């Protein structure tokens, strides 16, 4: 038998890529000089975000960061529970000196920041002198200003920054003080006003890849094309000659603005476009005209999804389909899914194949499915829905027909959601639904589903139990408390989220009994509630009874409830001492004290 230390260096380094940084340093570091040399040669990606337990976070500070400080290329920080703020404070709150922390930041090439506070964000950007990639995600709850001009000024001054990803809750307004960045080649931006798009691009002359979502300004409630300054777009293509990959999503923006913008980008090789409104975006003749003006285009994807079509909007499906029936569209097959329940409930989805979205809203019944494909090639058909990871099924009370969704090959489908938009879902007949459901999914395909999300407050009687019987390998489940009274045991479910915001009365003790009965292997447990009084009952039982539990999270409605942090910590420490819980079990709070996180 070959011993580990007899393996060649190349194979040992390959093995190291599969090991967590913590395991690498705790298990193998300082065993001998050779292993130390190989460990030091390994570039590391360190995640200090919320997925790491508080106990392991402290172990990283003690045992990993200091010896690994020269080889950390990617670092992830989060401020949801103040971890990023603590990392950037020049004090002794964490077990690694501040100079080492600054040195690590000066060395990293890639930095991922989740919900950073404004002060933390400004501070960290001062220390990252060799950064090439930054990804910043700022959610609605983050206590951060929605004025991102200062953030952009700092980022565009970074001479080494090549890739930038900004997932912002609100759009920025570009002003003249933002420098030109000659280093940026790749940008993803979740919110940008269409009026600022050209000005932003002119500040990135070497941009090659752009993924962006554009809106009208808040004070522009209509598509006022007459007041739009089209001179901003003139000559734009000459300013960004290297842009070849564009992914553009528009929200309530007129087609005229988009067409004039795309006319400037004749160098595009790949174009991915999506919109949440029909307008002229569903006209194949106009798209054919645009694409003919993009001589280098090799890949094109179109996705139009208007979920709620106004009553007075006339949708002529035949006319739309006819516009895509030319020989030109043989290169990019089109699918149309049109659902009509009533005059005020119409939904149209139009997309090219293979679909580039990972998430699709659909209907088991009642959709009129059309396409412009003359002949199906089985090998090509396997690729049509390869990127689709999640399907969201909607059920209405009166579908226009019982026509089923066609059978398709979903090779990477992992998540399903179900929503019943009914007045009284309790009385809904579910057996025919589940029988039909099995007609469009093979047994092998259902066995690949790992996550099930049930976001409604109430579901038809026995629906959840019978559905779970069809999905034998579910590992993650989101379920309302009203559906917890199941008739089956789910030994594979390790992640469970329970929505306690029910319109029906419940008892915390009943919930705990049902969890213990139906979910024997829970590792990660989440509660969403509006009632702070339930927290102590739920936690005291879960911490004592669920031996496999590694993580417990409680989220309260921020507008109605919060946890008194000091009172809870006193109770928690007493509880640990009285019940013999390890000191490894630790608690963290967010700033609003409406989310608490207990981990081992």
User: HEC profile for 258-323?
Assistant: HHHHHHCCCCCCEEEEEECCCHHHHCHHHHHHHHHCCCCCCEEEEEEEECCCCCCCCCCHHHHHHH
- Residue 198's contacts (CB-CB under 8 Å, 6 or more residues apart) are 232, 233, 236, 261
Q: Find out whether 300 and 291 touch, Cβ atoms under 8 Å.
A: yes
Q: How many CB atoms lie within 10 A of CB 81?
A: 21
3-state DSSP call for residue 463?
Answer: helix
- For residue 51, give the nearest of 132, 114, 144 by alpha carbon: 114
**Phi/psi at 13 (nearest 5 deg)?**
-65, -35
- CA dihedral sign, ordered 391, 394, 395, 400: negative
Closest C-alpha to 118, from 98, 89, 148: 148
Which 3-state string (H, E, C) describes 7-33? CCHHHHHHHHCCCCHHHHHHHHCCCCH
Backbone angles phi and psi of 583, in degrees to 5:
-65, -10
Using a 10 angstrom Cβ sphere, with 0-12 exposed, 13-18 middle and 19 or more buried, the burial of residue 51 is: exposed
**Residues in CB range of 511: below 8 A, 6 or more apart:** 481, 484, 498, 500, 538
Judged by DSSP in three states, 170 sits in coil
The pLDDT of residue 218 is 59
The per-residue pLDDT for 152 is 86
Cβ neighbours for 27, distance < 8 A, ≥ 6 positions apart:
none
> Distance between CA 286 and CA 291 in Å, rounded?
9
Count the alpha carbons within 13 Å of 296 in the hemisphere toward its beta carbon. 14
* 87: nearest Cα among 107, 58, 63: 58
Owner of token pair 């109770």: 571
Write out the chain's pLDDT in tens, 600 residues.
568 888 899 998 898 888 888 888 888 888 899 988 998 989 999 999 988 889 999 999 998 999 999 999 999 999 999 999 999 999 888 999 999 999 999 999 999 999 999 899 999 999 999 999 999 998 765 544 455 778 888 999 999 999 999 998 877 777 778 889 999 999 999 999 998 999 999 999 999 999 999 998 755 545 556 677 888 888 999 999 999 999 999 998 999 999 999 999 999 999 999 999 887 889 999 999 999 999 999 999 999 998 777 666 677 888 899 999 999 998 999 999 988 765 567 889 999 999 999 999 998 888 889 888 766 666 778 889 999 999 999 887 777 677 888 889 999 999 999 998 776 777 678 898 899 999 999 999 999 999 999 998 888 889 999 999 999 999 999 999 999 989 999 999 999 999 988 767 778 888 999 999 999 999 999 999 877 888 888 899 998 888 889 999 999 887 767 899 999 999 999 999 998 888 889 999 998 888 999 998
Query: Following CA atoms 271, 275, 278, 284 in sequence, which dihedral angle do they give, to the nearest 10 degrees?
Result: 10
Q: Identify the pLDDT of residue 339.
A: 87
Write the DSSP assignment of 336-355 as a string of letters.
Answer: EEEEEEETTEEEEEEEESS-
575 contacts: CB under 8 Å, gap ≥ 6: 540, 543, 581
Contacts of 133 (CB under 8 A, 6+ apart): 109, 110, 111, 161, 162, 163, 164, 165
Please report where in the chains the tokens 């739920």 appear, as a residue: 538
Q: CB neighbours of 455 closer than 8 A, spacing ≥ 6?
A: 417, 419, 478, 480, 499
CA dihedral 129, 132, 138, 142 (to 10 degrees): -20
Q: Which helix (H) or strand (E) holds 439?
A: helix 431-440
Pairing mode, if any, of strands 367-371 and 334-342?
A: antiparallel
Q: Is the peptide bond before 354 cis (omega within 30 degrees of 0)?
A: yes
Residue boundaries of the structural domains of the chain: 1-42, 523-600
- What pLDDT does 376 receive? 64
Residue 347 has which token pair?
């939904």
């Amino acid at each position: 038998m070959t011993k580990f230390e007899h393996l060649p260096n190349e194979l040992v380094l390959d093995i190291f890529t599969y090991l967590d940084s913590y395991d690498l340093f705790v298990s193998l570091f300082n065993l001998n000089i050779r292993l130390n040399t190989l460990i030091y040669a390994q570039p590391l990606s360190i995640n200090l975000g919320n997925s790491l337990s508080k106990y392991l976070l402290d172990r990283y500070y003690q045992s990993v960061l200091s010896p690994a400080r020269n080889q950390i290329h990617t670092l992830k920080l989060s401020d949801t529970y103040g971890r990023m703020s603590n990392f950037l404070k020049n004090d002794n709150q964490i077990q690694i000196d501040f100079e080492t922390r600054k040195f690590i930041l000066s060395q990293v090439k890639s930095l991922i920041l989740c919900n950073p506070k404004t002060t933390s964000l400004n501070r960290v950007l001062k220390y990252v002198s060799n950064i090439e990639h930054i990804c910043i995600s700022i959610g609605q709850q983050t206590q951060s200003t929605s004025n991102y001009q200062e953030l952009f000024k700092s980022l565009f001054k970074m001479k080494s920054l090549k890739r930038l990803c900004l997932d912002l809750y609100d759009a920025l307004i570009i002003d003249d003080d933002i420098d030109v960045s000659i280093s940026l080649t790749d940008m993803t931006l979740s919110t940008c006003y269409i009026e600022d798009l050209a000005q932003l691009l002119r500040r990135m002359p070497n941009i090659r890849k752009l993924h962006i979502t554009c809106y009208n300004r808040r004070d522009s409630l209509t598509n006022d094309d007459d007041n739009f300054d089209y001179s901003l777009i003139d000559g734009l293509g000459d300013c960004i000659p290297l842009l070849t990959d564009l992914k553009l999503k528009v929200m309530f923006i007129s087609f005229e603005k988009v067409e004039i913008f795309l006319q400037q980008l004749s160098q595009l090789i790949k174009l991915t476009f999506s919109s949440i409104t029909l307008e002229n975006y569903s006209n194949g003749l106009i798209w054919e005209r645009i694409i003919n003006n993009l001589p280098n285009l090799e890949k094109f994807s179109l996705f139009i999804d208007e979920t709620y079509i106004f009553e007075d909007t006339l949708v002529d499906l035949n006319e739309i389909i006819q516009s895509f029936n030319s020989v030109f569209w043989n290169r990019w097959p089109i699918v149309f899914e049109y659902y009509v329940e009533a005059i005020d409930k119409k939904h149209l989805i139009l997309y090219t194949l293979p679909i580039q979205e990972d998430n699709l809203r659909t209907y088991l019944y009642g959709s009129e499915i059309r396409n412009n494909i003359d002949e199906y090639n089985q090998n090509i058909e396997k690729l049509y829905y390869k990127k689709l990871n999640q399907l969201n099924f909607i059920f209405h009370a009166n579908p226009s027909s019982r026509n089923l969704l066609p059978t398709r090959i979903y090779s990477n489908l992992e998540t399903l959601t179900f929503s019943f938009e009914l007045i009284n879902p309790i009385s809904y007949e579910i057996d025919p639904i589940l029988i039909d459901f099995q007609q469009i999914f093979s047994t092998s395909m259902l066995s690949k589903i790992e996550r099930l999300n049930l976001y409604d407050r109430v579901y038809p009687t026995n629906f959840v139990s019978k559905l779970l019987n069809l999905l034998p390998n579910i590992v993650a489940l989101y379920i309302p408390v009203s559906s917890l009274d199941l008739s089956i045991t789910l030994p594979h479910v390790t992640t469970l989220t329970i929505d306690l915001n029910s319109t029906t009365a419940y008892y915390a003790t009943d919930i705990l009994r049902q969890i213990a009965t139906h979910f024997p292997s829970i590792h990660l447990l989440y509660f969403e509630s509006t009632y702070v009084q339930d927290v102590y009952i739920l936690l005291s039982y879960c911490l004592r009874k669920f031996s496999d539990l590694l993580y417990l999270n409680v989220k309260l409605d921020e507008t109605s409830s919060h946890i008194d942090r000091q009172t809870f910590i006193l109770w928690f420490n007493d509880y640990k001492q009285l019940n013999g819980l390890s000191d490894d079990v630790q608690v963290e709070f967010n700033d609003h004290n409406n989310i608490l996180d207990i981990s081992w």
